[in-house]
Structure 1
């Protein structure tokens, strides 16, 4: 079982029937990081890093260091702002280990995670390791900095059809460029 101050604690399991199982986790009254950043954006909070944002980033880094230092290492595989929960005083913990797994070997290729935060090697179905979590962490750092979803600026660019570029098209273009490198 995972046991770290920056990982949301497992409390137990509840069920009505075997087909209706629920995992009970520690209550995090501050909500998730994505909601905090959306409120920052709506309120015109300064972009850039302040003490609170640096603290949140360090908490997430501590959680990832813990996961990746286990034997075998545990890869989160879906790190994003919605999976960082906050206490009322904005202490951060990571959650949602629904697709995490131990890294048993270096041949993991299953496409997992949420595409906007996904490392290029995962997106392209190639081998990946704990560095894929670090890529997602970097994307999350850009969210902390700017308060916006990843690649949101690309949605304002015009696609070849002259319309705003949807996120899926922006990711497709990113994937194409990466393959050419």
Structure 2
């Protein structure tokens, strides 16, 4: 799905490889992604004591919103479902890119049958309240709530 188009605010996959990790008996798949020199937004916050300059906060919040808009504009829309500072990577110029699509789902296949309200995964402090309901089905609004929670933490 991500090969349909690209965004300057979503991490790019450069390739896929299959290999045998050290001390492992089974072959695993790996992704080769573009290198983001400055690490995660969470690590930047930690190194600066949690306080970022307002100009940087506004720029990063805008870039993250553009990344979410790109995902939601795909056909079918892609829901990230785990937006948080550690899933935003920064390049050498402190430009933001969304990463970690392990929980991502297209909007057509997000109907979930679950036994407990925490089965969906994700980071509970960024999840919308309705995500704890057993009949919860994620929507674009789920990502927007997570975006707001993440932006508030900046």
TM-score interval for Structure 1 and Structure 2 normalised by the shorter chain: 0.7 to 0.9
TM-score, normalised via structure 1 length? 0.71
**Where do 1:1-181 residues align within 5 Å?**
1-2=1-2, 3-17=6-20, 19-41=27-49, 45=51, 50-104=54-108, 107-108=111-112, 111-125=120-134, 126-144=136-154
Return the structure number with greater strand share: 2
- Residue 94 of structure 2 aligns to a residue whose secondary structure is coil
2: CA distance, partners of 1:104 / 1:50 = 37
Check whether the contact 1:109–1:127 (CA below 8 A) recurs between aligned residues: no
- Name stretches of at least 5 consecutive residues in structure 1 with no aligned partner: 145-181
Of the two, which has the highest radius of gyration?
1
Equivalent pairs counted in the alignment come to 140
Q: Deviations over 1:130-176 (max 9, x none)?
A: 111111111111111xxxxxxxxxxxxxxxxxxxxxxxxxxxxxxxx
2: CA distance, partners of 1:19 / 1:138 = 39
Structure 1 range deviating more: 3-12 or 105-114: 105-114
Q: Could you list the runs of 4 or more consecutive aligned residues of structure 1 that deviate by over 3 angstroms after TM superposition? A: 105-110
Return the structure number with greater helix share: 1
- Name stretches of at least 5 consecutive residues in structure 2 with no aligned partner: 21-25, 115-119
Q: Which one scores higher on RCO, CA 8 angstroms, separation ≥ 6?
A: 2
Check whether the contact 1:56–1:92 (CA below 8 A) recurs between aligned residues: yes
2: CA distance, partners of 1:132 / 1:109 = 17
Q: Relative to structure 1, is the Cα distance of residues 108 and 134 closer, same or farther in structure 2, using a 3 angstrom cutoff?
A: farther
